Amino acid sequence: MEASQPIGVFDSGVGGLTVAHALANLLPNESFIYYGDTAHLPYGEKSAEAIISYSIRIADFLLANGCKAIVIACNSASSTALEAVIEHVGDRAMVFNVIEPIVANIVDKHADEKVGVIGTKATIGSGMYEKKIKALKPNAHVASMATPLFAPMIEEGFYGTPVSIETIKQYLKRPALDNIECLVLACTHYPLLHEDIENYYKGSVTIIDTPEIVAEHIKAELEKAGKLNPSGSGKLQFYVSDYTASFEKTAQYFFEAEIKLEELNLWK
Ligand code: DGL
């Protein structure tokens, strides 16, 4: 494993771009290969077995392209497929997930607050956030709720629109989240709704925006392992299993550049 090798990042679609973007900002020397599995989106509605098999296929693709690290930039896959991916990858690359850095941040900075967690059915159904937070802080107050319409809505480009504003209202007004003091956006798609959610709560709830926290954690771990690229200007490559114009638009919105998107279906 050489420090100059790229970092692989994957998600079911555009969500992981929030993490890839935070990583690219923080680590300008690094090259990234991004894979959005748009053909199988949404992961949040799939069984654990299906998410594990997609994740392993993508990990193989990233390894075949020489990645020194694989970032599972998807909460649904992090909560169901992490162990399987770690076992499969072995010592061929470092494997990162998006849940543990957030749990550490909550326990460190929001432990005495009433914590709300929203994510896909797969993530919320796994109970992973609650389990991990309570393992470190047994009397923590955690309220979780699945918001399954959010990821497909974002994937279709509906953020900052009347559609997203109304959908957010319909979910967040539910009693499950009553009295929360902070809210974890436990799906990598959701930072695209940050502003809409912030406007809904009007400052009464702290929104925990996760990509920067995850990126800081990955940087620190790569540094510790001596795997940061000391020089060079990073290259970005984007692949999707099924081309969608809205993916390209969102990628351009994030990276403020022309994005060359390659369609590559690993299952054909
Ligand atoms: N971005 C993903 C997550 O963090 C998955 C959304 C989906 O495909 O359902 O859970």
Express each pLDDT in 7-36 by its tens digit.
999 999 999 999 999 999 999 999 999 999
Cβ 6 vs Cβ 65: under 8 Å: yes
Q: What is the pLDDT of residue 60?
A: 98
- Tell how far the Cα of 131 is from the centroid of ligand 1, in angstroms: 19
Helix (H, G, I), strand (E, B) or coil at 218: helix
Considering 22, 70, 71, 74, which one is annotated as catalytic? 74
Q: What is the pLDDT of residue 256?
A: 81
- Atom in ligand 1 nearest the alpha carbon of residue 76: 10
Instruction: Establish whether the linkage from the previous residue to 175 is cis, with ω within 30° of 0.
Output: no
7-97+212-263 and 100-210 have identical folds: yes
74 catalytic residue (yes or no): yes
Q: Is 191 in the pocket of ligand 1 (CB under 6 A)?
A: no
Cβ 121 vs Cβ 151: under 8 Å: no
Q: What is the pLDDT of residue 218?
A: 98
Q: Is 11 in the pocket of ligand 1 (CB under 6 A)?
A: yes
182 catalytic residue (yes or no): no
Q: From residue 93, how far is each of 7, 32, 63, 128, 176 by CA, in Å?
A: 9, 14, 8, 24, 39
Q: From residue 237, how far is each of 7, 34, 75, 142, 254 by CA, in Å?
A: 10, 6, 22, 38, 14
Q: Which helix (H) or strand (E) holds 60?
A: helix 48-64
- Atom in ligand 1 nearest the alpha carbon of residue 74: 4
With 80 as the cut, is the pLDDT of residue 239 above it? yes
pLDDT band of 3, cuts 50, 70, 90: confident
**How many Cβ atoms are within 10 Å of 139's Cβ, its own excluded?**
7
Q: What is the pLDDT of residue 253?
A: 85
Q: What is the pLDDT of residue 254?
A: 83
Helix (H, G, I), strand (E, B) or coil at 241: coil
With 90 as the cut, is the pLDDT of residue 260 above it? no
Short-list 214, 266, 167, 171, CA closest to 16? 214
Return d(Cα 62, Cα 34) in angstroms, integer. Answer: 9
In which region does residue 109 sit, left (phi positive, over 0), alpha (psi from -120 to 50) or beta (all else)?
A: alpha
CATH number 3.40.50.1860 is the correct assignment for the domain at 7-97+212-263: yes
Q: Is 188 in the pocket of ligand 1 (CB under 6 A)?
A: yes
Q: Are strands 94-97 and 206-208 parallel, antiparallel or unpaired?
A: unpaired
Helix (H, G, I), strand (E, B) or coil at 227: coil
Q: Is 42 in the pocket of ligand 1 (CB under 6 A)?
A: yes
CA angle at residue 109 from 22 to 221, to 5 degrees?
45
Return d(Cα 244, Cα 261) in angstroms, integer. Answer: 9
- Tell how far the Cα of 11 is from the centroid of ligand 1, in angstroms: 7
Q: How many CA atoms lie within 13 A of 242 on its CB side?
A: 10
Q: Are strands 141-146 and 182-185 parallel, antiparallel or unpaired?
A: unpaired
* Mean pLDDT for all residues in the chain: 95
Return d(Cα 189, Cα 122) in angstroms, integer. Answer: 14
Region 100-210: CATH code: 3.40.50.1860
Q: What is the pLDDT of residues 79-137, one digit of tens each?
A: 999 999 999 999 999 999 999 999 999 999 998 999 999 999 999 999 999 999 999 99
The domain ranges of the chain are 7-97+212-263, 100-210
Question: Which pTM value belongs to this model?
Answer: 0.96
Short-list 84, 89, 53, CA closest to 70? 89
**How many Cβ atoms are within 10 Å of 198's Cβ, its own excluded?**
15
Q: Is 30 in the pocket of ligand 1 (CB under 6 A)?
A: no
Q: Which of 85-99, 128-142, 193-207, 238-252 has the lowest mean pLDDT?
A: 238-252
